[in-house]
Structure 1
Amino acid sequence: MKKIIKSVLYILIFIIVSSLIFFFWAKSPTMDEKDYAQIKSFDNANHVKPSDSTVSVISYNIGYLSGMTNNTSVRPTEEFYAGNMKSVLQSLKKYPADILALQEIDYGGNRSYNVNQFDVIGNELQYENGCRSINWDKTYVPFPYFPPTVHFGKMLSGQAIMTNYPIEDYERVVLSKVQSHPYYYSAMYLDRLVERVKIKVGDQEVMVFNAHTEAFDQDTRVKQIRFLKDWFLREAEKMPVIMVGDFNSDPSYENAGILELYDNEKIGAMCSKEGLKKDGTLTYPTDKPYEQLDFIFYSTEHFELEDWKVLSDFGQVSDHFPVYASLKLKK
């Protein structure tokens, strides 16, 4: 009996130690944090000069091109991702944007077959400048939990902005974290980010924010959106501001943080408050959209809204539709 108890004890110790070794190995990063924010020149000879008066913007959560399989226990094939890349490039070429802001873009992670989607999209669309932020860097992410064959594995993902305007300054800012998460969960979770990019439109400096706020914890999401609103208003005192992203905040949610960006006359939105949740405004999910999570905002002192739309013709290469706006700089 004592031998059996001792054997069981050894097995339990082995399992615990092995699990701890795996955990600390899996949560470890694959690159140096100082490289999480980078500006890149794509070295493309783009002969089309961007307008100095009208700025076209697209914000798109591409869901690492996983379509409706995003965060499900499905492992799409490499051909599936290649087909979605071809499709999204064809669609984006139909809507050439001066500023393309992307969320959930992979930089060579296992789940999307180690393709650097930033390099492919930037080069194929002939952008001259880009900047990228890493918000999820893990050696091995064991999600979705079952079966193990669908685990994400090596993770390297984040956000990006591509443009033909000169980039003067760039900053990666980590938003507040969910305080209720247990340590083991937080250790594997992504950082919620905003990219702050200063570009030059003619002789005018313009500040662009690309945000991706918390999806699952409402209190944290509201806190993040309030932080973004305050930052927007501070910058708008100095220069034109554009803020875009996946805010994960549908206007119909109780205590919807996104509505706080609608209660200040200095902040304009692609969609009026009265037009929220109407036909043609819903962005998620792409198979049967019922939520409006993706937005473009601008400083009303500096811009006039010329046009906007949800680009539903992009189909299901992501679980989000992109949003588009044309903004005219005031003289």
Structure 2
Amino acid sequence: MRKILRALLLVVLVILIAVVGFIGYLTLTEYQPQPVEALKIPTGKREINKKQDLSVLTFNIGYAGLGKTEDFFMDGGKTVEPESQKMIKDNLLGIEQAISEAEADINLIQEVDRDSKRSYHINQEKYLTERLGMNGVFASNFNVNYVPFPIPPIGKVDSGLMTMTNLNMSEAQRISLPNPFKWPVRTSNLKRALLETRFPIKDSEQELVVFNLHLEAYDSGEGKVAQSKKLAAVLYNEYAKGNYVIAGGDFNQVFEGSKQFPEVKKEGWQPGNIQNKDLPDHFSFSFDDKYPTVRVLNSPYTGSYDTSKVHVIDGFIVSDNLKVEKTKVLNKDFEHSDHHPVQLTVKFK
């Protein structure tokens, strides 16, 4: 009997040591970015002219792994990663075509993987910049050597935000956003950020300042609120300097005043809500709700908004010294991503 107890205690001790050791490893290797980090900027060939319209595209590409046939365990589905590298490559080709056809001056791309198990370690930053012939600036927001959940685990993730453009850029930086997660969950989770890019304007002392964002998705709500407040403060500071300001991306929150699509099922991921009162003075939302911008990944896409959960959570915030000419969802029927690209066109006042 004593031998059995000793054996059981030994097994428990080994498991405990392994768990503590693994948590220690995640803690020691945790990605801990600074509040603000300067990023290397590419050399652009084109200069912004205030007399010409400017087009900005936002597109969460879902690491090219969330096409219309996929679900995802965090949204209420079952899948952890796509079944094949071919699926990733096929989706990347469709994503590349969608960005190319939009012909935007500035492209704000979210969920771009550089070296992740879930996307078969394809460097999507390199792929898109080379295939599209555009310069890119990358800011990490998910950098974990090994995400230990679920079963099978997600594993290594190296992913983030990328802004692509051939416009002349003067500066770029990564601005950390508040993190709602505590240790040890924090060690294997996202570290959200704003990717700020600054563009000089021909014959002007003002700048165009553009923020690429992907706000919190899987928190209880306080993360989205804190990050939205940080964003509002940053926008206000830039406007106070006299600059033109655009923020675009995946807000993971439904815009106040946007169309509410049918609520198909109660279970599955639910977005938050962002309201006009959350914005600083001199700013407004710009979105299109003719089509939804995201589908919930609790099941594969059915092809109908009446039977798949969909929302409007991708769009822009624009300062009032810019005139919005058009904001348009580019409907791709969720073929290659769980998000639709959204394109903004503005004039300088």
TM range (shorter): 0.7 to 0.9
Residue in structure 2 matched with residue 188 of structure 1 by the alignment: 188
Contact 1:135 1:190 in 2 (8 A): yes
Give the letter aligned to residue 122 of structure 1: T
CA distance in 2, matches of 1:249, 1:296: 12
**2:92 paired residue among 69, 76, 85:** 85
SS at match of 1:183: coil
The SS at the match of 1:250 is strand
Written as runs of structure 1 = structure 2, the 5 A alignment for 1:1-331 is 1-26=1-26, 29=29, 38-41=39-42, 52=50, 53-67=52-66, 68-71=70-73, 72-76=78-82, 77-127=84-134, 129-143=135-149, 145-146=150-151, 148=152, 151-178=153-180, 181-204=181-204, 205-215=207-217, 216-238=219-241, 239-251=243-255, 256-261=273-278, 266-271=282-287, 278-280=289-291, 282-285=292-295, 287=301, 288=308, 290-300=310-320, 302-313=321-332, 315-330=334-349
Number of matched pairs: 312
Structure 1 residue 200, shift from structure 2 partner: 2.1
- TM-score, reference length from structure 2: 0.80
Note closer, same or farther for the CA distance 1:40–1:118 as it changes in structure 2 (3 Å cut): farther
Structure 1: segments with no counterpart, 5+ residues: none
Distance 1:203 1:161, change over 3 A: farther
Shift of 1:134: 0.9
C-alpha distance in structure 2 between counterparts of 1:142 and 1:255, whole Å: 27
User: What is the Cα-based RMSD across aligned positions, in Å?
Assistant: 2.8
SS at match of 2:118: helix
- Code of the residue aligned with 2:338 in structure 1: it is D
- Structure 2's unaligned 5+ residue stretches are 257-269, 302-307
Look up the SS of the partner of 2:194 in the other structure.
strand
Identity of aligned residues (%): 26
Q: How big is the shift at 1:169?
A: 1.4
Distance in 1 (CA, whole Å) between partners of 2:238 and 2:314 is 21
Deviation at 1:244, TM superposition (A): 0.7
**Separation (CA, whole Å) in 1 of partners of 2:38 and 2:121:** 19
Deviation at 1:100, TM superposition (A): 0.5
> Which of the pair is proportionally richer in helix?
1
What one-letter code is carried by the residue in structure 2 that aligns with 1:267?
F
Distance 2:24 2:141 in 1: 18
TM-score by length of structure 1 reads 0.85
Task: Give the SS at the match of 1:191.
Answer: coil
